[in-house]
Amino acid sequence: MSSLNVARLDREEAADARPLALELHGVRRLFGTRAVLDGIELAVRRGEFVSLLGASGTGKTTLLRILAGLDRATSGHVRVAAARSVVFQEPRLVPAMRVWRNVVLGHSRGRETRRRALDALAEVGLGSHADAWPRTLSGGEAQRVALARALATEPGLLLLDEPFAALDALTRIRMHALVSQLCERHQPAVVLVTHDVDEAILLSDRILVLAQGGIRFDARVPFPRPRQRLDNAFGALRARLLAELGVAPEDAVA
């Protein structure tokens, strides 16, 4: 099944005219003598929303950090969009800066800067919080500021490192919709690292499963949006992904 998928992807890849946002060839990352990533091959195009699933310790976050430039591959070729940004699991806002300054953290200071920050904040529905201190925000609001900061740089590649994991269930649902809508509008290539199979199916165009140092599963999500968890096809894909992740059907409650 895997090889079949890959063959189909190659054909689609050839027909796809969208520019490449990232390209990996034979990427290896050793920690000591253990190869966490062992020959990763991957290409993602602009506008593609890719979820990266994997059990704990399979190197999802390592791969994302390599893409972000925060870690280096031991060997192999890594080519990524020059303009990229990250939303981490924690908001990581500078507490001593007002919200809008956080949004334009890396930008040169000028007259346009505040305007750009306000626009980005308006997009995440926090236009009125521009002059607040990060300490006064709720967890969900802070994460939306982090999202605004990531999008304010107009990234070609947006890296999301479990950005919803620390949010409560209701806030998470709203964040899913917001991220989906903003990525639709800005069309970056997105790589989302997550543990949550449902989240991956709801949001992505394509799902990868990382195991034993390589991409063991790579499939497009064929369902139209907005997606419903109650669909039969949703359930089937969910079961398949859980099996890939080593969770047997009898392990799950629902």
Partner 1 sequence: MPPVPSSTPVAAGPPLALVDLPSDSLAPTRSAGVAPGRLASRALAPLLLLGAWQLASATGFVAREVLPPPTDVAAAYGELISTGELQEALPVSLARSLVGLALGGGTGLVLGLCAGLWRRGEELFDAPLQMLRTVPFIAMIPLFIIWFGIGEGAKIALIYAATIFPVYLNTYAGVRGVDPKLIEAARVFDLAPRGIALRVILPTALPSILVGLRYSAGVALLALVAAEQINARSGIGYILINANVNQRADIIIAGIILYALLGILIDIIMRAVERLALPWRGKLVLA
Taking the complex as a whole, how short is the minimal distance between the CB of residue 78 and partner 1, in angstroms?
16
The residue (of 109 and 111) whose beta carbon lies closer to partner 1 is: 109
Return the amino acid letter for 231.
D
Using the rule CB under 8 A, give the single segment among 48-56, 85-93, 197-205, 234-242 that binds partner 1: 85-93
Please report whether residue 94 would count as binding partner 1 according to CB under 8 A: yes
149 part of the interface to partner 1, by CB under 8 A: yes
Distance CA 120, CA 200 (A): 25
Contacts to partner 1 from residues 150-179, by CB under 8 A: 153
Residue labelled with tokens 């062992």? 38
Stretch that binds partner 1, among 43-51, 81-89, 113-121, 210-218 (CB under 8 A): 81-89
Q: Examine residue 136 and tell whether it contacts partner 1 (CB under 8 A).
A: yes
Place of tokens 């919709």: 177
Query: Which residue among 57, 95, 222, 246 contacts partner 1 (CB under 8 A)?
Result: 95
Taking alpha carbons only, the member of 182, 204, 184, 202 closest to residue 192 is 204
State the minimum distance, in angstroms, from the CB of residue 190 to partner 1: 15
Give the helix ranges, DSSP H, for 73-218: 99-103, 111-123, 139-152, 169-186, 197-203
- Residue 62 found at the interface with partner 1 (CB under 8 A): no
Query: Can you tell me which residue has the tokens 């999802």?
Result: 60
Residue 161, class by beta-carbon neighbours within 10 Å (0-12 exposed, 13-18 middle, 19+ buried)?
A: buried
- Binding letters toward partner 1, positions 15-54, x by CB under 8 A: ----------------------------------------
Confirm or reject binding of residue 118 to partner 1 (CB under 8 A): no
Cα(66)–Cα(20) distance, integer angstroms: 17
Of residues 97 and 247, the one with the C-beta less far from partner 1: 97
Residue 61 sits in the site that holds partner 1 (CB under 8 A): no
- Select from 2-10, 127-135, 187-195, 219-227 the region that touches partner 1 (CB under 8 A): 127-135
Q: Is 70 in the site for partner 1 (CB under 8 A)?
A: yes
- Backbone φ, ψ for residue 47 (5° rounding): 90, -5
Dihedral pair phi/psi, residue 118, rounded to 5°: -65, -40
Residues 191 and 177: their CA atoms lie apart, in Å, by: 16
129 scored as a contact of partner 1 (CB under 8 A): yes
Q: Between 106 and 222, name the residue whose CB sits nearer to partner 1.
A: 106
Give the list of residues 6+ apart from residue 76 with CB closer than 8 angstroms, or none.
24, 25, 26, 27, 28, 39, 40
